[in-house]
Chains A and B, each alone.
Chain A
Amino acid sequence: MSAESTVRIEKMTGARMFLECLRKEGVDKIFGYPGGVILHIYDELYNCDFIKHYLVRHEQAAVHAAEGYARITGKPGVVLVTSGPGACNTITGIANAYYDSYPLVVFTGQVDTRLIGNDAFQESDIVGITRTCCKHNYLVKSIADLPRVIKESFHIARTGKPGPVVVSLPKDILTSRMEFEYPEKLNLPGYNPTYEGHPIQCRKALKLLCEAQRPVIISGGGIIHSEAWMEIRELAKKLNIPVATTLMGIGTYPQDDKLSLGMLGMHGNYWANLAVSNCDVLFAVGTRFNDRITGCLKRFCKDAQVIHVDIDPCSISKNVHVDIPIVGDAKNVLNLMLHEYNTGKYSYDYNMRELWVKQIESWKLNKAIRAVENGIMSPQTVIEHIYNKTKNMDTIIATEVGQHQMWTAQLYKFNKPRQLITSGGLGTMGFGFPAAIGAQIASPEKLVFNIAGDGSIQMNIQELMTCVDYKIPVKIAVINNGYLGMVRQWQEKMFNKHYSQTPITSPDYVKLAEAYGILGLRITKDDEIDAALDKAIAYNGPVIMDFVVEPFEMVYPWVLAGKPLNEVLLSNLEKGE
């Protein structure tokens, strides 16, 4: 034995070890809320100079903020909360990240290992509770496992199809002592994501795309995870194929491009839905064919051949029958296809493609018509103004869930990935504001807007204080129509205008802003919008803008749930059911 190795390494507490592990993973920001069993870590944080902790006002918001951070940086967001209620409050946030595949590592305290299962104070079986809404979870049973578990958690969260990992840390693990050694290698024999697409499948896909007369690309959220937006753009340009994006894929293809179809799906563009319905080859990358983009499954692309690229084999042929499945990372697959195309062995009929693009151009004349024209400020006008005001600034837009979310997706012409932060899969109201906080923390130099509904904003409005504390200058635009608008819209169309529990009241947002010591503005007329936006953007701090808008405006285009994608309603005048 050498002299060095006999030197006794100082033993470290689990709490200290936890922070050292985070340091090894390059974590410098965490979102959390202290409590009984997790106090030993908070004690270590007291003098910690390499991790900045952001104290939120509700644990759910900590998880959303961490997800907002992950969406901007591509790195796992880290959350630290206590056991029992603290842990339970994180569930919605964890499920949200799971559905939209963003990496998180959520550390929850746990009661002493000897007390687990005894219904101790603030005990909850968080491993059991989160099992079906996270990518993986751990209960650390020995301090010897702690470094390995943390290393594995970060690895699992950010690789393959990213997702949240939950780690439950019993109190006695944090207080016991051991020599710290961070493992260098991982041993996860059951976890081997497929990154390389099968070359034969890729060639088959490319051949089919070249032979196609009416091809369409669907670019999904997976393009963002694999950072393959340049590749998808290049492939679309080279093969002259129109590109539709899913809600999660917004920004992967520039909307001002000729080949852009914008968003497809329930509230997608008329022409995008028609193009997908009439295509003969569909090339879908990084999407799991959620029912919001397929409409009636039986009639979705029923005459088309489908090529599906996804890193998760489970997504393939789950909802839509796939003719050419390719399991792999989108970037690798697209690069392989581009490389293959560049050999010059492939060609396509350019004139045929131009005919197809022209056909789609003619569909582009069918735009949604506003439901109400009565001079009252309309929500769409507000969002268009926000777009025009911020389009040349480096802006991140977060949304909540509902009508305002769909209008934002439709009217804000996103050209860059990681520019829109929105809850797609789970559809979590109250997500946008804390996520905007996380996004602003991830990129302090950018302008961050949260476009919110008056219902959604009240779900996590307590985080205003977090913004004040840390001087996070998120600009909140409340599209205030006095209703839970999206639900009201369904009630209007399908439930005989029975507005059951959808009228919703709000506090006076200007006075609320005053109470928090931030800027509050109320805007009721079209000609006040620009000045208010200028003032908000110039203001050095958080702002709430209360846009009091027409209550009965509807989101169109609209494919009613269960209808085929080409049955698009463009205005109130068309009959639905």
Chain B
Amino acid sequence: MKHTISVLVKNEAGILSSVCDLFSTRGYNIESLTVAATVDTTFSRITIVTTGDDVVIEQICKQLNRLINTIKVVELPKSADKCIDRELILCKVTAKDEARSEILRIAEIFGAKIIDVSPDTYTLEYSGDNRQVLAIITLLRPLGIKELVRSGLVAITRENQFVNLNK
């Protein structure tokens, strides 16, 4: 079962290693991980997608909380009416002859942007939830994906579900 954990940490060197070490020493799996400073740049937000049963996820959250430099650990709700998640992908696709117009059609359907063009390729930029991202990749794959870069998931709760430093 996939879980998304949002971790607010002090923006200090080494904290990312501590978080990753915690996963590796206990044999927990990281599916994706993103990190960047928050609005207050002395703090960073780490968004981790991981798998495990409820007992494992509870342990992960407790262990993350135990790190001295973590401020807050929240397991984000799974339902889309409580939480919004997005992933950014950059995808370089082989684009020759008829494929060029097919790629443009797919891009249009998904609302993806073409950010680079060459005689043989298109590079697309697209962001969406996990399902949408997988869908566009599935459609582009038969056309020949030369390179695919995914940002990993970021997520935010909907209004009134504050995931913030209580100050």
Contact = CB atoms under 8 A, between A and B. Distances in A.
Q: Do A and B come from one complex?
A: yes
Interface of A: 127-128, 131-132, 135-136, 139, 156, 188-191, 312-314, 317-318
13 contacts: A131-B17, A132-B21, A132-B25, A135-B68, A156-B68, A188-B68, A189-B71, A190-B71, A312-B66, A313-B65, A314-B59, A317-B55, A318-B59
B69 A131 contact: no
Given A314-B59, A314-B62, A127 B14 contact: yes
A136 B65 contact: no
Nearest to A137: B14
A457 B71 CA distance: 44
Contact of A190 (B55, B58, B62, B70): B70
A131 B68 CA distance: 12
Q: Which residue of A127, A132, A190, A317 has the most chain B CB atoms within 10 A of its CB atom?
A: A190
A300 to B, nearest CB: 16
A132 to B, nearest CB: 5
A340 B59 CA distance: 31
B113 interface: no
A314 B58 CA distance: 9
A146 B22 CA distance: 27
B68 A190 contact: yes
A312 B14 CA distance: 23
B59 A131 contact: no
A131 B21 contact: yes
Nearest to A161: B66
A136 B68 contact: yes
A191 B68 CA distance: 5
B165 to A, nearest CB: 8
Contacts of B10: 189-190
Contacts of B65: 313
Contacts of B55: 317
A314 B63 contact: yes
A226 to B, nearest CB: 18
A212 B6 CA distance: 41
A131 to B, nearest CB: 5
A190 B14 contact: no
Interface in B4-41: 9-10, 13-14, 17-18, 21, 25
A190 B11 CA distance: 12
A366 B107 CA distance: 78
B67 interface: yes
Contacts of A127: 14
Contacts of A156: 68
Nearest to A136: B68
A136 B68 CA distance: 7
Contacts of B71: 189-190
Given A131-B18, A132-B25, A313 B68 contact: no
A189 B165 CA distance: 10
A483 B25 CA distance: 33
Nearest to B167: A189
Nearest to B71: A190
A191 B67 CA distance: 8
B14 A139 contact: yes
A317 B14 contact: no
Given A188-B68, A314-B63, 8 more contacts: A131-B17, A131-B18, A136-B68, A139-B13, A190-B69, A190-B71, A313-B65, A314-B59
A112 B17 CA distance: 22
A128 B68 CA distance: 16
Contacts of A318: 59
A188 B70 CA distance: 10
Give the 3 A-B CB pairs with smallest separation, nearest first.
A314-B62, A136-B68, A190-B71
Interface string B137-167: 0000000000000000000000000000100
A318 B18 CA distance: 20
B75 to A, nearest CB: 14
